[in-house]
Chain A
Amino acid sequence: MLAQSVIENIIDAALSTGGDFAEVFAEDKVNSSIVLIGGKVERSISGKDFGIGVRIFKGTNSVYAYTNDHTEDRLIAMAKKASQALSGEGRTEAVKLQTEKVNTIHPVTFAPLDVAKSKKVAVMRDIYQVAKNYDQLISQVTIGYNDVDQNVLIANSEGRLVEDRRIRTRLSAQTVASNGEEMQTGSYSPGAHKGFELMEDLDLSYYGSEAARIAVTMLKADECPSGQFPVIIDNDFGGVIFHEACGHGLEATSVAKGNSVFAGRLGERVAPDIVTYIDDGTLPNEWGSQNIDDEGEKTRKNVLIENGILKGYLIDKLGGRRMGMPSTGSSRRESYKFAPTSRMTNTFIAPGISTPEEIIANTEFGIYAKYMGGGSVNPATADYNFAVNEGYIVRNGKIAEPVRGATLIGNGAKTLQKVDMVGNNLGHGQGMCGSVSGSIPANVGQPMIRVSEITVGGRRQA
């Protein structure tokens, strides 16, 4: 992407005014997205993202600059301009970069550019037919196909020069069910660190009919009651609740400045002993996986909570400087337009011993959240909120009628304490996670779990 000598000159320019660390991040990414609505291909756009970011540290002060201009003199001028935000003695020793080889642990068979768009469209039509024909109540179906081929180069003043290629593909099915008066929606969006081979691995008829079934079920559902109830959250994307409620609070972004309820509590009990929480960027070909993070560190498996005891945080270089702790390979960013910071990759609750049947059978009255929607958390207070896309009442140990419009709210640290059953059916779901370094692909995961009490918001009185 850039010649080694050019990168070395940029790093030297960046350290000309007293910075003690400089990094270059170059990105060349081809994106393609296709949208099929009502059986017709309505939109298809593709293009190239391209740019270079330069980051400089002095102690815990940091400066970031980026541009799309890749001419050497403009890049050096930008590095110099950025360095002027810091003051001090410049470094005289020139950097000498050493290429580090990355062995991919996420092999890809069919890169997006090698597959004709018409082949991608054929898959979209297949899943469209499944969803559309699921039920007469399905009034609209939108299918999206996105793929990304991202090439990154990372170099820094410690001599590191490393490159990585990340290919990701995602298919999404969104349905609308309508009875003429009301509309309800359903969706399913599987994705992976894979190329077109993902389409061969996926059971399209399963995802298409699930997306349609959710909308139809919710159209026929009654409003959810409000109040505080036991809540059973199913596996897979259900893990989004702990991603928001705990995961973000374990990132150096909030821990380093003490703006997290988990700050300064390593070794303390933060959850019941049935809870183990892990972030693992090495899971082969998973949506949130990559070989190296966006500072060039190898991704790894980080145990955050083990049997209820807080064991670790997710740490990037700058957060590590503030905390006096090493990086955990957790530095990520949306693109060269963002300085990287500590983020999750594939985060999940480890499987327990209860079967899903036991968990349901042990619940006299509560809410069963089969599919979760998105949510958000205030990292300072750990207050969270989540939508339930498909919910049911549990009565006398059995799943009863479906309910719509449920929202779960609570406090992350407190909810974690109230996990009282953990299932044995771990699954992962795919999402886009937003934070200070942009929107990045991340897996959330868990087995079925039960929380003894969560505030449920709905439109009906209990």
Chain B
Amino acid sequence: MEMTAFKERLFKAGSKAGFEEMELYYVNGEKFSTKVYENEVDSYTVANDGGLSFRGLIDGQMGYAYTEKIDETSIDLLVQEAKENLGILDTEDREDLFEGSSSYPQLDLYAEKLEQITPQEKIAFLKKLEKACKDQSEKVSSVNYCMLQSFASEKRIANSKGLDVQNKGNAVYVFVSVVVKEKEDIKSAQTLKVSRDFSKFDAGKIAEEVVAEALSYLGAEPVKSGQYPVILKNKAAASLFQTFVGSFSAENIQKGKSRLAGKIGEKVAGENITVIDNPHDEKRFSSRSFDSEGVPTKPLNVIENGVLQTFLHNRKTAKKDGVSPTGHASKASYKGTIGISPSNMTIKAGKKSYDDLISESQEAVVITDLQGLHSGANPISGDFSLAAHGYLVKAGKIVRPVNQITVAGNFFTLLQQVEEVGNDLEIELPSGGSIGSPSLKVANLSIGGK
């Protein structure tokens, strides 16, 4: 159904039901994903899907409802459900809708050329990648995931106060996981690549990198339990950082769910830590010119040389704190209500390479991967105790791989105790280009092992 016509009918039904302000949020996309296993297409999925959500105000309270069935029959459901949802709210916060801005940053997040790549080319690439992984070493026993996903999506937000913005984006992801075996010892490694330029993917290079990593873990053993200097490699540091980014959300601050409450202007990290949120970097994949309320976005220093500068706001939290919104309103999808999330949030790179961090360490544990972040880390308190693996460093050299260890600490304490910040900021892992960190060296963390 044509969206503008649908909107008019929906808003007409809405105002009849008593809604004073109304908004339509519409997402539509095409997806393709495929997996190759043993030189055969193991799965192949094509999709065209989307949905829309309606929200509206009565007496300053916002009611929400959504549907994936986009036709006439859904109009009554949307209006009635939104009204019933609004009827049970008893928050004191009053909301209104945004009338739009006179200027929005122009971002190019859609590559026409990417849409020309055929499924056959994508499958051929995966077959080449799988073979390249196997050719790296006889110890590769299986390439248990060799998959590609591409998507293109468009989003439109239009409301009864004049806001009408839309954007379009696309990207392609490649994920590969290899299993290596030596006698009874089995290890694995994974990597994720994301781009808007398919020709940037180099099967040989990806295979070399992921197989080398898996092989480097063969023969791993725990270290003795104790306190160790720890080098969190970029990917591991980024995944830890990602677990705690909710602490910067003004919503969590206002609800008593963040330890950073009341700390603006205070030192919350070492002087070597600067945290930047940049929604305008066209090379990244959480870039956006407007947020989920239609507010224009802008780059922001969240922590500058250790000093907390700002929280991330949507219109509701900004109003409550008497500040300007920062363009961080977010919806998980059309199925969500407005929350807050960062765009591309990274810890700024330092000067030393990952190799320097190793060669300058007398003894250290390098952590390349952390597991169980959703359960072993408390996003509110900052405490974490996580399964990990990596390497043992002695006299400036990696001497052996380490596994079956846990690493425990507190993220907020850790931010104060970073000794060195690496120069190896990568944007692809862990989540496809949203949260990033260079490698971080920390003086002391608790390792549980033998």
Contact = CB atoms under 8 A, between A and B. Distances in A.
Contacts of B144: 257, 259, 380
B376 interface: yes
Contacts of B77: 47-48
Give the 4 A-B CB pairs with smallest separation, nearest first. Answer: A457-B406, A226-B448, A385-B387, A374-B375
B88 A118 contact: yes
B219 interface: no
A49 B74 CA distance: 11
B385 A407 contact: yes
A373 interface: yes
A117 interface: yes
Contacts, number: 244
B45 interface: yes
Contacts of A460: 446
Interface string A170-203: 0000001010001111000000000000000000
Contact of A376 (B85, B177, B371, B381): B371
A339 B43 contact: yes
A85 B374 contact: no
Interface stretch (B65-73, B288-296, B320-328): B65-73
Interface in B40-65: 40-51, 53, 63-65
B81 A457 contact: no
A383 B448 contact: no
B69 A457 contact: no
Interface of A: 28, 31, 34, 37-38, 40-51, 60-70, 78, 81-82, 85, 117-118, 121, 139-140, 176, 178, 182-185, 223-224, 226-228, 257-259, 337, 339, 373-376, 378, 380-381, 383-387, 404-407, 409-411, 455-462
A376 B372 contact: yes
Given A374-B374, A409-B406, A458-B446, 16 more contacts: A38-B256, A51-B68, A61-B41, A61-B42, A62-B42, A62-B43, A64-B46, A65-B46, A68-B68, A183-B381, A383-B403, A386-B372, A387-B385, A406-B385, A409-B448, A458-B448
A385 B372 contact: yes
A64 B45 contact: yes
Given A259-B179, A374-B374, A458-B385, A85 B335 contact: no
A376 B374 contact: yes
A44 B256 contact: no
B405 A457 contact: yes
B142 interface: yes
9 contacts: A46-B66, A47-B66, A62-B44, A63-B43, A70-B69, A375-B375, A385-B375, A407-B448, A455-B449
Given A373-B376, A380-B188, A455-B406, A117 B225 contact: no
Given A68-B70, A375-B372, A458-B446, A226 B65 contact: no
Interface stretch (B89-97, B205-213, B262-270): B89-97
Nearest to A460: B446
B32 to A, nearest CB: 10
A386 B81 CA distance: 39
Greatest chain B CB density within 10 A among A44, A117, A182 is at A44
B255 A38 contact: yes
A369 B187 CA distance: 29
Kindly state the interface size class of chain B when it binds its partner. 35 or more
A387 B379 CA distance: 13
Contact of B259 (A69, A183, A258): A183
Nearest to A60: B40
Contact of B88 (A44, A406, A456, A459): A44
Contact of B47 (A67, A258, A381): A67
Nearest to B371: A385
A176 B257 contact: yes
**Could you tell me the dominant secondary structure of chain B's interface residues?**
strand
Greatest chain A CB density within 10 A among B187, B335, B448 is at B448
Contact of A68 (B51, B256, B335, B386): B51
B119 interface: yes
A291 B210 CA distance: 43
B336 interface: yes
A383 to B, nearest CB: 7
A404 to B, nearest CB: 7
A117 B48 contact: no
A380 B186 contact: yes
Contact of B48 (A64, A67, A387): A67
Contacts of B372: 374-376, 385-387, 407
B66 A43 contact: no
Greatest chain A CB density within 10 A among B53, B78, B376, B405 is at B376
A176 B255 CA distance: 11
B226 interface: yes
Nearest to A67: B48
Given A409-B406, A458-B408, A68 B50 contact: yes
A41 B335 contact: no
Interface of B: 37, 40-51, 53, 63-70, 74, 77-78, 81, 84-92, 119, 142, 144, 177, 179, 186-188, 222, 225-227, 255-257, 259, 335-337, 371-372, 374-376, 378, 380-381, 383, 385-387, 403-409, 446-450
Contacts of A42: 89, 91
Contact of B37 (A66, A140, A257): A257
Contact of A44 (B49, B64, B70): B64
A227 B42 CA distance: 42
Contact of B404 (A78, A227, A455, A459): A455
A43 to B, nearest CB: 5
A456 B119 CA distance: 47
Given A46-B85, A118-B88, A462 B225 contact: yes
Given A40-B91, A45-B66, A376-B374, A117 B142 contact: no
B152 to A, nearest CB: 15
A183 B380 contact: yes
Given A40-B92, A65-B45, A121-B88, A385 B376 contact: yes
Given A50-B69, A385-B387, A406-B385, A258 B142 contact: yes
A405 B49 contact: no
Greatest chain B CB density within 10 A among A45, A456, A461 is at A45
A408 to B, nearest CB: 9
A337 B49 contact: yes
A64 B41 CA distance: 12
A457 B387 contact: yes
Contacts of A45: 64-66, 85, 335-337
A383 B49 contact: no
Given A40-B90, A226-B448, A405-B383, A68 B49 contact: yes
A38 B251 CA distance: 13
B140 to A, nearest CB: 12
Given A47-B81, A47-B335, A461-B226, A455 B44 contact: no
Greatest chain B CB density within 10 A among A31, A384, A387 is at A387
Contacts of A375: 372, 375-376
Contact of A46 (B49, B51, B68, B81): B81
Contacts of B447: 226
Nearest to B120: A85
B176 to A, nearest CB: 13
A420 B225 CA distance: 25
B66 A373 contact: no
Nearest to B178: A380
A339 B43 CA distance: 9
Contacts of A81: 46
Contacts of B81: 46-47
A19 to B, nearest CB: 12
B123 to A, nearest CB: 9
A117 B87 contact: yes
Contacts of B85: 44-46, 117
Contact of A69 (B48, B66, B383, B448): B48
Contacts of B179: 259, 380
B249 to A, nearest CB: 14
A409 B222 CA distance: 11
B216 to A, nearest CB: 15
